[in-house]
Structure 1
Amino acid sequence: MEIRPVRTEADYKAALKEISRLVEHDPDIGTPDGDRLDVLSTLVQAYEAKNFPIDPPDPIEAIKFRMEQAGLSPKDLEPMIGKRNRVYEILNRKRALTLPMIWRLHKGLGIPAENLIKPPA
């Protein structure tokens, strides 16, 4: 049961194949196969984070996505952003988010603050 670092595309594919095989057998936690699955999954996660990074979403797109998920209208954002015309200025990219707006959106909508501070596209 040799486990090696995942450094190359070939290592990555081999690890994914082994993970797939292990998942089919659904090993219990704490068993040798369960531990192997856990370690391989961690190695694959680290490889993917390094080689296939995912950029955080655009702040305005993140707000619009959360609005759509929760069925919110621009009026619902007024407590977090300000008067309705200010909400539309933000959503139409005519005005930048301020730090107080970012914190209120973070708390009110649960959008990670680091996503909201990214400069809009």
Structure 2
Amino acid sequence: MDIQPIRTDDDLSKAIAEIETLWGAERGTADGDRLDVLITLVDRYEDEHYPIGPAHPVDVLKMHMEMTGRRRADLASLIGSSSRASEVLNRRRALTLDMVHKLNRHWGIPAEYLVVPYELERLAVKPVRRAADPVRKRA
């Protein structure tokens, strides 16, 4: 088994191409072992050079809703109201511990994906309209 370390993106491309040819190899065979080692090397290289941060809790919620066919109304019935669901989905209201608990218990979303702190979107502040100045009398 002649496997080289992955040090460059070119090495990465070659390893991925080989993984594609080995995909589906049986465990315990020479090809299966080669596939396992290559996947481990690719995973380590990508973690080091292309790290992916934690997903935003609202993105996790939206993705779960999309994957399970749930709608905003389903979220509203779970967390209390349609306005609250809209505020959460628009990042204007943070998920509370009670909401996280309900989403975990009823929808099976892992709580650790929902309890990540995040900043809320700020509401756009509309300029205050002032009453028109009184009409001045001309002399």
Normalising to structure 2: TM-score of the pair? 0.66
Query: More deviation in 74-83 or 44-53?
Result: 74-83
| Partner in structure 1 of residue 64 of structure 2 | 66
| Partner in structure 2 of residue 27 of structure 1 | 25
| Partner in structure 2 of residue 90 of structure 1 | 88
Structure ID, larger Rg: 2
Amino acid corresponding to residue 14 of structure 1 in structure 2: K
CA–CA distance in 1 between the matches of 2:60 and 2:27? Answer: 36
Q: Quote how far apart the aligned CAs of 1:44 are.
A: 0.9
The structure showing larger relative contact order (alpha-carbon pairs under 8 Å, at least 6 residues apart) is 1
Query: More deviation in 59-68 or 37-46?
Result: 59-68
SS in 1 for 2:25: coil
Identity over the aligned pairs, expressed in percent? 46
Query: More deviation in 78-87 or 45-54?
Result: 78-87
| Partner in structure 2 of residue 7 of structure 1 | 7
Output the aligned Cα RMSD: 2.5
CA–CA distance in 2 between the matches of 1:34 and 1:71? Answer: 37
CA–CA distance in 1 between the matches of 2:112 and 2:74? Answer: 22
Cα pair distance change 1:75/1:30, threshold 3 Å: same
More helix by share: 1
Q: Which runs of 5+ in 2 are unaligned?
A: 121-139
Q: How many residues align?
A: 119
| Partner in structure 2 of residue 114 of structure 1 | 112
Query: More deviation in 3-12 or 33-42?
Result: 3-12
Query: More deviation in 99-108 or 5-14?
Result: 5-14
| Partner in structure 2 of residue 81 of structure 1 | 79
Contact 1:59–1:120, Cα closer than 8 Å, also in 2: no
CA offset digits 1:58-91 (Å, max 9, x no partner): 2223323322333323332245422333223322
Contact 1:60–1:120, Cα closer than 8 Å, also in 2: no
CA–CA distance in 2 between the matches of 1:100 and 1:93? Answer: 17
Q: Quote how far apart the aligned CAs of 1:103 are.
A: 2.2
CA offset digits 1:79-118 (Å, max 9, x no partner): 5422333223322333211112112212323333233223
CA–CA distance in 1 between the matches of 2:18 and 2:91? Answer: 47
Q: Which runs of 5+ in 1 are unaligned?
A: none
